[in-house]
């Protein structure tokens, strides 16, 4: 980030001007009777507090540059992501949070190890400037895909429970019987990523690239990083949704090849 000197600092007054933009949204909500004014205020306050806290914590972690602080930070991020991935399920899913935590941890660890250790080769491996933003982007993709996969799997098993039982009744194993629903859930989880790859850069500049360019990097350096980001997010998406679906399916089946229908 050699061009850091070219970044304009923002004063508190300027940030206050940015809040006026939320005022526009609140005004529209009130005018149209959308009833989301309160959520907008809470959301804005949360954004301010959360980002400030994260900024403070990041400043400390960057300053200390110790592997254990970095790992702790990653663990907290994963826990929050696991919670968020399962909080919007239409119905409760048995052991959902533990399943999400495991799927996100494994998929993120594998992808992150490859990106940091093999591709970028930043030294030391826990250099916060690289590992934390990259881990965040991987986790974000993994979280979204796990949430999509979980939602679709649950909905499909519920709607297509008769089909599952028909296969079981024909002598198929539990895993064989739910295979079509598992496959649909995986597809649903991965399609947004594939679509995103098709239009990346054409519709909007991805956040990381935008940030790098604002921070003074050349656009050509920024796209190199962005390509790594796109590919690593695709890998994280596939791994996280595959793991989540495999583990979640296990919760709806028994060793005797039964569908635990009352959980659906």
Partner 1 sequence: MVAPLPPSHPLFEVEQLSLVHDAWGGQPPVTVLKNVSVSVERGSALVLLGPSGSGKSTLLRCLNRLAEPTSGRVRFDGRDIRSLDSRDLRQRAALVMQTPVLFEGTVRGNLRIRPAGTPGDFSEASLAAAVEEVGLDPKLLDRDAVTLSGGEKQRVTIARALLRDPQALLLDEPTSALDPPNAALVVESVSRLRELRRLTIVAVTHQPELVRRLGGSLLYLVQGEVLTYERADSGVTDARLQAFLAGELASPPTERP
The site for partner 1 (CB under 8 A) is made up of 91-92, 94, 162-163, 165-166, 168-173, 176, 254, 256-259, 262-263
By beta-carbon proximity to partner 1, the closer residue of 149 and 259 is 259
For residue 257, give every residue at least 6 positions away whose Cβ sits within 8 Å of its Cβ, in sequence order, or none: 168, 172, 173, 174, 177
Structure tokens at 260: 């635990």
What is the smallest separation between the CB atom of 250 and partner 1, expressed in angstroms? 16
The nearer residue to partner 1, 127 or 176, going by C-beta atoms, is 176
3-state helix/strand/coil string of the chain? CHHHHHCCCCCHHHHHHHHHHHHHHHHHHHHHCCCCHHHHHHHHHHHHHHHHHHHHHHHHHHHHCCHHHHHHHHHHHHHHHHHHHHHCCCCCCCCHHHHHHHHHHHHHHHHHHHHHHHHHCCCCCCCHHHHHHHHHHHHHHHHHHHHHHHHHHHHHHHHCHHHHHHHHHCCCCHHHHHHHHHHHHHHHHHHHHHHHHHHCCCCCCCHHHHHHHHCCCCHHHHHHHHHHHHHHHHHHHHHHHHHHHHHHHHHHECCCCCECHHHC
Q: Tell me the closest approach of the beta carbon of residue 167 to partner 1, in angstroms.
A: 8
Q: How far is the CB of 184 from partner 1 (least distance, A)?
A: 13
> 39 or 162, CB closer to partner 1?
162
* Nearest-approach distance from CB 68 to partner 1, in angstroms: 40
Instruction: Give least dist CB 186 to partner 1, A.
Output: 18
Pick between residue 16 and residue 171 the one whose CB is nearest to partner 1.
171
Report the distance separating Cα 3 and Cα 194, nearest Å. Answer: 33
**Toward partner 1, which CB reaches closer, 195 or 254?**
254
Q: Which is nearer to partner 1, 68 or 262 (CB)?
A: 262
Q: How far is the CB of 171 from partner 1 (least distance, A)?
A: 5
Whole-number minimum distance, CB 256 to partner 1, in Å?
Answer: 5
Q: Which CB atom, from 205 or from 263, has the smaller least distance to partner 1?
A: 263
């Amino acid at each position: 980030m050699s061009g850091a000197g070219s970044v304009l600092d923002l004063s508190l007054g300027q940030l206050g001007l940015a809040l006026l933009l939320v005022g526009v949204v609140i005004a529209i909500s009130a005018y149209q009777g959308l009833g989301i004014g309160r959520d907008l205020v809470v959301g804005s306050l949360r954004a301010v507090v959360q980002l400030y806290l994260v900024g403070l914590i990041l400043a400390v972690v960057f300053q200390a540059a110790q592997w254990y602080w970095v790992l702790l930070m990653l663990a907290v991020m994963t826990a929050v992501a696991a919670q968020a991935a399962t909080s919007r399920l239409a119905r409760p899913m048995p052991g959902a949070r533990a399943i999400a935590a495991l799927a996100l941890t494994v998929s993120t660890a594998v992808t992150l190890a490859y990106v940091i250790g093999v591709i970028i080769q930043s030294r030391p491996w826990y250099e916060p400037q690289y590992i934390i933003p990259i881990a965040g982007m991987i986790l974000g993709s993994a979280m979204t895909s796990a949430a999509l996969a979980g939602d679709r799997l649950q909905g499909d098993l519920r709607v297509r429970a008769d089909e599952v039982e028909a296969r079981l009744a024909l002598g198929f194993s539990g895993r064989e019987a739910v295979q079509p629903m598992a496959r649909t859930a995986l597809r649903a989880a991965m399609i947004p990523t594939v679509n995103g790859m098709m239009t990346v850069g054409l519709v909007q500049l991805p956040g990381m690239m935008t940030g790098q360019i604002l921070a003074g990097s050349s656009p050509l350096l920024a796209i190199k990083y962005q390509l790594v980001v796109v590919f690593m997010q695709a890998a994280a998406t596939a791994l996280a949704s595959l793991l989540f679906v495999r583990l979640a399916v296990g919760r709806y089946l028994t060793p005797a090849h039964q569908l635990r229908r009352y959980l659906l």
